[in-house]
Amino acid sequence: MSQKIRFLPATLVVLIFLSIAGGASAGPLGRAPEQGLGDLSIEQLMDIKVETVTGASKYEQKVTEAPASVSIVTADEIWKFGDQTLADVMRSVRGMYVADDRNYSYLGTRGFLRPGDYNTRTLVLIDGHRMNDNVYDAIYVARENTIDIGLIDRIEIIRGPGSAIYGGSAFFGVVNIVTRRGRDIGGFESTASAGSFGSYESRLTYGNQFKSGLELLASVSYYSSAGVGSLYYPEFDPRISSNPAAANSGIARSSDGESAAKAFVDASYRDLTLTLFFSARTKHVPTASFGTVFNSGREKTDDEDGYADLKFSRELSAGFELEAHVYYDGMYYHGFYPYAYQPKIVTIQDDIAHGERVGALAQVTGKLSEVQKLVAGIDYQDNFRQDQSYYDETVPRTYYLNDHHTDSVLGIFAEDQVELADSLLLNAGLRYDRYFGGFGGTLNPRVSLIYRPSAATALKVILGRAFRPPNAYERFYNGPAQAPHPLKPETILTSELVLEQYFGEHVRTSVSAYHYAVSDLITEDVTPAGDLFFMNLNSATADGLGFEVEAKAAGGAMARASVSLQRTHDPATGEQLTDSPRCLAKLNAGVPLYSGKLFAAVEVQYNSSVETVADATAPGFTLTNFTLSTARGKSGWAASASLYNAFDTRYGYPADATLAQDVVAQDGRTFRLLLNYRY
């Protein structure tokens, strides 16, 4: 906690400086002096620019009118702070944190992250398209099948239950990635970067809007990294460990490499928009997960993911708008796991999942009157392939699992926003989902009362219920052992109080207090015969408080700081949940240099200690990143240089029970150099 106390004064100093800078004298470009916050009249305080969000209610609305606590990260911030993946962005956002087991990355929010649960409780969208797959219900936040970070215009982080609009998996929140448009590129854009561990990345993008009305964006990218050459794990050191798999003095050599390729196309003409996305990624795994042979160099995972989405949108009469989608999604996972059934004879076990779905969505949005706005729609998804298999690479193959299932889901939703008075909004949403071939139906509401005494102030009271359906992996992977235990959806009840306050054009603050209770948590258990299966066993409750302040000076200096405090525990035992930090504190700050041609940025992140699966403690840590970047114009060169974990902090994240390691150590100091060229 002492690190947090040292962190806060530095944050306040930066924020006070930026607040003063908003009313300072003329800057390097000779701008006229601007008024300070104390000089603004009531009318000027009310005449402020409030950001808009589209993912909270499926239509564009001011953040102060959205039925949620919302954060927005822009492409400009992503560039200036040197973010390489969506995971980097999430680490900088209030109340969010990311763990990594050197295979996949896992997103935690509001103190909840069950190690190894495949990121099933946050819904991720790309331009409104659902990215959670139909086998594991998983999302990916690093290089595992996520859109290239350079194609992002902004990221909307919408906290709280979203099932009233989106259905399953919008449990703790929704992350909506809004991509750049062809007109934003205006030609070609290429990037190339190099960094630690022999990492290289390149991207080529073309975007334009033509006189015919056609707008096009097309992009391809490739990433390759050798990874850390040598990783030491004491759990596999035969000198100090009794693990029968211990070998090579506990050192995994040349086992951490990664490569990824991505393609994205977005073409719109009049009322139609076609979006295509594909990603393929291979990660070599150094941790010998699932009891595999240590230091074999043969354990790896392959992931492929893609979708095609055709959207039709048209304005109807009386101010209504129709939006309809038809889409196809596909995912493929292949894990290669080496086992030694006999000395010096290694057999590869293949773990495979193949999912495909088609779907359709139609919604109508419009004003019923001057004080009432409605969105209503229907959503259908057909999961026509949910295949899972597990076998030995022998001749003939020895199958431990060869499962094939299908199911479908139909959702009907509506959300009504009514202006009860000049300063009072009521937002009420309701969605019913019916799972065919699954557990049946579920009804989930969300109600928000928003008091806005001025355009600069919003006080929100939010109540909601969300659910997460059991996925195909949880229902069928363990075969006959799972059959006697039909799974129900997990549910969460959330109550939240949010205060958002804007101070003129330069300062925004947000305070939120929340409580949630999770029921019927799906947890892996074991039968008396030793067979694994999933059951609705646990529950969890949490209380939290978050504070965020963002300041942007007229000269270009900016800072965003947040502190999140939470306690998440099992109400039956009173024990803190694993991988649940009590405190998260974050600072992003930067200043322009040389008349705005350069921008120097610093990012500081503090995570408090957490409990591990083995009932031990992973120590808290503070990470500091520095980035120096040039300004980006409509054409020409731009560059950035980043130093991550600049003070070489030694830290790690809790692992799940499939790893011998209780805590997985992370990288020390690393760097990246990036060049961007537009033409």
Residue 531 pLDDT: 76
pTM: 0.91
Of residues 396 and 277, more confidence is placed in 277
Q: Is the pLDDT of residue 47 over 70?
A: no
At 292 the pLDDT is: 95
348-383 residue pLDDT tens: 999 999 999 999 999 999 999 999 999 999 999 999
Neighbours of 495 (CB within 10 A): 14
CA distance 642 to 82: 6
- Residue 427 buriedness (CB in 10 A; 0-12 / 13-18 / 19+): buried
pLDDT value of position 7: 40
Percent pLDDT > 70 in the chain is 93
pLDDT digits (tens, 9 = 90+) for 501-517: 999 889 999 999 999 99
User: In the predicted model, is pLDDT for residue 46 greater than 60?
Assistant: no
447-482, pLDDT tens digit by residue? 999 999 998 999 999 999 999 999 999 999 987 777
pLDDT in tens, 58-76: 999 999 999 999 999 999 9
What integer pLDDT is reported at residue 2 of this predicted model?
38
Average pLDDT across the chain, whole number: 91
pLDDT tens sequence across 419-434: 999 999 999 999 999 9
Q: Taking 60 as the threshold, does the pLDDT of residue 520 lie above it? A: yes
Mean pLDDT across 162-185: 96
- Indicate if the pLDDT at residue 163 is higher than 80: yes
Pick from 446, 445, 450, 476: nearest CA to 461: 450
Whole-number pLDDT of residue 478: 87
Is the pLDDT confidence value at 31 over 80?
no
Lowest-pLDDT range, 336-345, 535-544, 665-674? 336-345
Are 305 and 334 contacting, i.e. CB atoms less than 8 angstroms apart?
no
Q: Of the ranges 31-40, 156-165, 207-216, which one carries the lowest mean pLDDT score? A: 31-40
Q: What is the per-residue pLDDT for 10? A: 40
Higher pLDDT, 263 or 8: 263
Question: Residue 635 region, left (φ>0) first, then alpha (ψ -120 to 50), else beta?
Answer: beta
Q: Given this model, what pLDDT does residue 319 score?
A: 85
Length in residues, the chain? 679
- Which stretch of DSSP H or E encloses residue 75? helix 75-80
Indicate the burial class of 270 (C-beta count within 10 angstroms; 0-12, 13-18, 19 or more).
Answer: exposed
Structure-model confidence comparison of residues 2 and 242, the more confident one: 242
* Residue 6 pLDDT: 37
**Domains of the chain in sequence order:** 2-678 (2.40.170.20)
pLDDT at 408: 97
Which pLDDT value is given to residue 3?
38
Q: Residues 251, 240: contact at Cβ < 8 Å?
A: no
pLDDT value, residue 407:
96
- Under the banding of pLDDT at 50, 70 and 90, the label for residue 48 is low
Per-residue pLDDT tens over the stretch 293-345: 999 999 999 999 999 999 999 999 888 999 999 999 999 999 999 999 887 78
Q: Which of these, 262, 281, 282, 265, lies nearest to 149 by C-alpha position? A: 262
pLDDT digits (tens, 9 = 90+) for 614-661: 999 999 999 999 999 999 988 999 999 999 999 999 999 999 989 999
CB 117 within 8 A of CB 106: yes
Given this model, what pLDDT does residue 507 score? 95
Strand partners, 618: 610
Task: Tell me the Ramachandran region of residue 318: left when phi exceeds 0, alpha when psi lies from -120 to 50, beta otherwise.
Answer: left
- Residue among 136, 135, 473, 85 nearest 281 (CA): 85
Q: What is the pLDDT of residues 203-257, one digit of tens each?
A: 999 999 999 999 999 999 999 999 999 999 999 999 999 999 999 999 999 999 9
**For residue 195, what are the contacts with CB-CB under 8 A and spacing of at least 6?**
225, 670, 671, 672, 673
Residues near 41 by Cβ (< 8 Å), separated by ≥ 6? none
